[in-house]
Structure 1
C-alpha cells in the first residue's frame, strides 16, 4: 500500500512510453518479447525514466497476455515474459525508491468478436497472477476503450488480490467513452468496484486530456491519474510520429494537477525528456484537495417529426409483409432498374431492398439509388450495409447520410470478401463484424456516435440482420441469430431456401424467437444459374430435386424460367404457412418473375383467410 500512502500527500510523476523508444531503436516486433531477448535494452529504458525523475515505472508487459502474444506465436511464454519483466524493473530500481506497477493492456477496441469476454478474463488472469506474485506495488490497467472489459477485469482482480489497482480508460473524444458514458460517471463506477486510482491514458494529447478532466469530480476514495500522449499522432514517410515540445507537455501536467490529478505520466510519443520536464514542474506542487467542476452539457434536439412509417418487423409480427430485392445496375443505365422498382412497389412490395456490391463486384451506390427511388418516386427502400468496403469513419458517415435522407431501413451484413469479386486484389476493411455494426447502429439510435460523442439527434434505424439456414447443423446458425439479437437486430432476412423440408426445419428451430424472420425465395432462371448458385455462391444450397428439375429444362430458356417460378411457388406454399415475412430475390432484373410470385402470395393469402399462420 506504499503507493497509495504516497499519493495522499504528493503528486507523483510516472514514466513515459516504452514502445516509442523501442520503435526508435528499430525494434518494431513484439515489444514484450524484448524482456527475453534484449533485457538490457528494457532495463536501460527504465533507468532513463528513473534518471529523469519518475516516481513510478511500469513493467514492459502491456501486451503480455496469451491473446496478444498469440499474434507472434508466443502464447506459451506468458509466465516467462512477465516474470522477466518484473526482474528487469526491480533491477532498474535497486538503488532507488521508485514504485513499480505491473502493466496490463486492454484487448478490445470497437471490434469485439475476435475474443469473448470470458476468454479475455481468463487470459488476463494468468498474466495478473504472475504480476501479483512478483511483489509489485500495484497493477496498471491501461488503454481500455471497452468499459465492460475494464469493469469486469477489475471485478475479477479484486477477487484474487487487494494490491492497488490503477484503472485507466481511453477516449476517442474528450470527456466521453466509446459507449457514450461520460468520463466522470465512468471513473465513479471504476472507483465503486474497487479501483484505487482512476484516470485516462493514450489516444488524446495534453490539450484534450485537460479538457476531459474539467468535467471530472475528485473521487471520494480514490485518486486521479493521467498519461496523455505527447500530441495527436501524425504520419511521416509511413511512420507514426508525435509532435510535442517538452515544455508544452510539462506545462500541461501542471494544468492536469490543477484538475486534481495526482499521478501524471506519459503515453505514446513521450520520452525521458518529457518526464524530466514534468518532474521539474510538479516536484514542489501539493495535490489539489478541492476543485470546481465544469458541467459538460450535451446539446440534444428531439426530432419534431417522428417517423411515420411503421417498422417492417412490427408489421411482420401480425400480417403478411414482403421484401423484394432488386440489385442496382453494374453500369450507368438506370432506367430499367427504376422501372422494375416502380413495378414491384406498385404490385405491393413493402420495401425494395438493394445489396451493397454483392459478391464484391461494384454496382451503382445503393444510397444513391435509394435516394432516387424515395425522393422521385415515393418508394420505400432498404440498402444493405457491409463491413467490407468502409472503415469506421466511412461507416458512420454513410449511416449519418442515410438517416439524413430518411432511409431508415437497413440490413447490416459482413460482406463477401473482395477475392470473390471483380477486384480480387482490393482491400477488405472489416474494422468490425456485422454483429458489432448492428450494435453501433443502435448506438446511433441513442444519439451517440461510434466514438461516444453526441450526435445532437437520435438516428431512427430499423436494423435487419442476415440469417443463413443452409447449414448442416441449424442449431449453430440459430445460436448466431440469437447473438445478433443480443447486439440489437430487430429482425432477420434469410438466404434463399430451396427445400420445403428446410423451411419447416427453420420454423421448428426458430419458433421460440420473437424477432420476425423473412424467408428468402429466389426463382431460378436456368440450369446454369442453378449450378452456379449451388456450387459457387456462399450460403446457398439447392436440393438434388431442384437441380434435377432445372436440368430437365436445360437449353429451353422459357421452360427453365417457368420451372424456376413453379419451384418457387411450391416453396411459397410452405413458407406462407409458417412465416409472415417473405423475402423475394429478383434474379438478373427479371422482376416479371418476382411479380408472378407476389401475385401468387396474394392468391394464397386469399385462400388461407382465417387460417392462422404459424408465427
Structure 2
C-alpha cells in the first residue's frame, strides 16, 4: 500500500524531532553532516522512532541544500549528504511497513534579501533530485514562514516528480501567516498547486496548533498534516528546552485528528516518547471525513488617520521641498538642539530629520526629540530607523509608538556597524535589512503586524530610503533603488554629494525612477572635517578639488566656513536645476550654515520664477 493510499483510511503517526535529539547528544553544529560523520547515530534515532510506533519517518536532510550547507563549507557535498541520509532512513525501515519522506526545509526566514528566490529554487532542485533518485515515498516541505517560497517550491517540484508532496507552513500566530493570509486560504492554495498533504509544523505548541486548525476546512483533494512543537520553548542556563508532559502531547494528537489531520508527528522538542504516546492514542482511530470549520471572527481594520500634512514624496513631485537634518545631541543638554530645530523650521524647512545614533554612537533618542518638537513646538520631524539596534520585536514596537505619536515620516537605513562607534563590542542586531524593513512597514500600513496578526488599524507611514551615489558603479546603486521601490519605498534621500558632475550623473541615471530623490548637500566646516568625511565616513567621498580648496584656507576657521558654504552653494546651483528635493545636512549643531543655504535656495527659486515670467 502506498503512502497516499494509506492516508485514505488511516491516521498515520509520523516521527518527531531529529535536531532535538542530536542537540541532547551535544551535537549543535551542522546536523546534516552527521549523516556522514555519525551515520550509526542517525540510524539509531530513526530506529527509536520506528520502535515507538512511527508509521512515517523523515530523512535527516532538513538543511541539506547548498545554501544552508555553505554556512559550514559543505556546499559541494549536497549529493553525498542527501544520498547517505536517504539510505540511512531506508535501512532503518528495512522490511517494515513504514514510509520514508525526504525532508526539505525552507531557506528564507524573515530576511529575504540574502539570496534570491531563483537561487533558492536552484538549490532545492539540486537537493530534491538526489532525494527523489533515492526512491523515497514522498517529499516533506517543512518550516516555511515565507509563503511565496513555499508556493514556488511546490510548483517547481510538482513539475519534477509525481511523488506525494507534503507542504507545511509555519506561523507566528495561530491561524495567520506572516503575510496576513489565513491558514485556511493558504492550505487551499497549496492544494490547488498540487500538494497532496497540506499542514503546519514548528513554532507553535499543541494548544495553538489545535487552535489554528479549528478554522481549517477539510481539503477536497488533499489531506491535512500537523507537526506541532512539544510546547513553547524556554531557555534554561543558555540551552533551549521544551517542557511538555508526554500524555498532554498525546491528547493533543487526538484533538488534531478531530480537526481533520491524518498525518500527525512532532517538531522541535518532541522525542520518541512523545511519538509512542501519540501512537497509542491514534492507532485505532479512523480519520474524520466531515468537519464544520470554525468561522473565524473577522477583525475590522480601521483606516489610518488622515494626515493633515501632505506626504513629502507627493509634494516634491511638483515643487521645491527641503529636508534639513539636525542630529540629536550626545549629551543631555537639549536646549541648543531644540532652538536650532525651531529656527530651521521657521526658515522654511519642510521637516527636521534626526539620525538614529549615527556612526553607531549613542545620542538622545530621536523618537523622544521628535515627540518634543512636534508636541511642544509644532515641528514636523522625520526620525531615521536603523536595523542595527533593534530586533523585530523592538522594531515593530518602535514603529507602533511612532504612529501613535503622529510621527509618520521615516527614513529606513541599515545602520553603521557597531564596530565604528563608541561601543565596538556591542551587538549589531540586523534581524532584517533595510529592504525587508521597508516591506514590513508597508505591511503595517495595511494594518498587519510583522507576524501577520491584524493591528485593528492601519499605520500611515511615508517611507524614505537611503541612496548612496558615491560608489564606483552608479548603475548598481540605482539597481538597488529599483529593488527598494519594489519593496515599497516612497522616495529617496541621498548621501551628500560634492561635485556638480556627480549630481548630473545621478539625474541621468535615475530619471526613469517613479520615486523622487532628495539630493544631499552638507557644507564643510574645516579641512580636517573634510578629510575625516572623505577617508573615514562610509558612503561619503569628496573630490580632489574640494579637498584642495578647503586645505588652501590654511586652517583659518572663518575662511574654512566661508569656503564650505561657497562650495555648497555651487552644488546647489546644479542640484536645484535637476531636482525638486534638497536635503541639507547640518554639520554638528551649526545650523546657521544651513540657514544660509536655505536662503540661497529661496534666491535661486525666485530667480528662476523671474526668468520664467520674462520668457
The residue aligned with 1:572 is 572
Deviation at 1:299, TM superposition (A): 2.4
Report if aligned partners of 2:466, 2:495 keep a CA contact under 8 Å in 1.
yes
Q: Distance in 1 between matches of 2:4 and 2:610?
A: 73
The residue aligned with 2:470 is 470
* 2:299 maps to 1:302: no
RMSD: 1.0
Deviation at 1:295, TM superposition (A): 1.5
Deviation at 1:580, TM superposition (A): 0.3
Q: Distance in 1 between matches of 2:114 and 2:520?
A: 29
User: SS state of the match for residue 609, structure 1?
Assistant: helix
Instruction: Give per-residue Cα distances to partners, 1:491-537, cap 9 Å, x unaligned.
Output: 00000000000000000000001211000000001010001000100
Counterparts of residues 535-554 of structure 1 (less than 5 Å): 535-554=535-554
The residue aligned with 1:88 is 88
Gaps of 5+ in 1: none
Q: Distance in 2 between matches of 1:481 and 1:548?
A: 32
The residue aligned with 1:436 is 436
Q: Distance in 2 between matches of 1:99 and 1:215?
A: 29
Counterparts of residues 122-521 of structure 1 (less than 5 Å): 122-303=122-303, 305-521=305-521
Deviation at 1:609, TM superposition (A): 1.4
Deviation at 1:611, TM superposition (A): 6.8
Deviation at 1:304, TM superposition (A): 7.6
Report if aligned partners of 1:387, 1:414 keep a CA contact under 8 Å in 2.
yes
Q: Which stretch of the first structure deviates more once superposed, 551-560 or 257-266?
A: 551-560
Report if aligned partners of 1:550, 1:564 keep a CA contact under 8 Å in 2.
yes
Q: Distance in 1 between matches of 2:95 and 2:53?
A: 13
Report if aligned partners of 1:298, 1:456 keep a CA contact under 8 Å in 2.
no
Report if aligned partners of 2:305, 2:460 keep a CA contact under 8 Å in 1.
no
Distance 1:151 1:492, change over 3 A: same
Report if aligned partners of 2:304, 2:459 keep a CA contact under 8 Å in 1.
no
The residue aligned with 2:585 is 585
The residue aligned with 2:6 is 6
Deviation at 1:294, TM superposition (A): 1.0
The residue aligned with 1:110 is 110
User: SS state of the match for residue 476, structure 1?
Assistant: helix
The alignment of Structure 1 onto Structure 2 pairs a total of residues equal to: 612
Report if aligned partners of 1:64, 1:78 keep a CA contact under 8 Å in 2.
yes
Q: Distance in 2 between matches of 1:160 and 1:147?
A: 20
Q: Distance in 2 between matches of 1:576 and 1:430?
A: 36
Gaps of 5+ in 2: none
Distance 1:417 1:226, change over 3 A: same
TM-score of the pair, normalised by structure 2: 0.99
Deviation at 1:95, TM superposition (A): 2.9
Report if aligned partners of 2:304, 2:457 keep a CA contact under 8 Å in 1.
no
Instruction: Give per-residue Cα distances to partners, 1:375-425, cap 9 Å, x unaligned.
Output: 000000000000000011100000000000000000000000000000011
TM-score of the pair, normalised by structure 1: 0.99
Q: Distance in 2 between matches of 1:2 and 1:48?
A: 23
User: SS state of the match for residue 171, structure 1?
Assistant: coil
Q: Distance in 2 between matches of 1:449 and 1:17?
A: 29
Q: Distance in 2 between matches of 1:568 and 1:554?
A: 19
Deviation at 1:298, TM superposition (A): 3.6
Instruction: Give per-residue Cα distances to partners, 1:89-127, cap 9 Å, x unaligned.
Output: 111011310000000000101011111111111111000
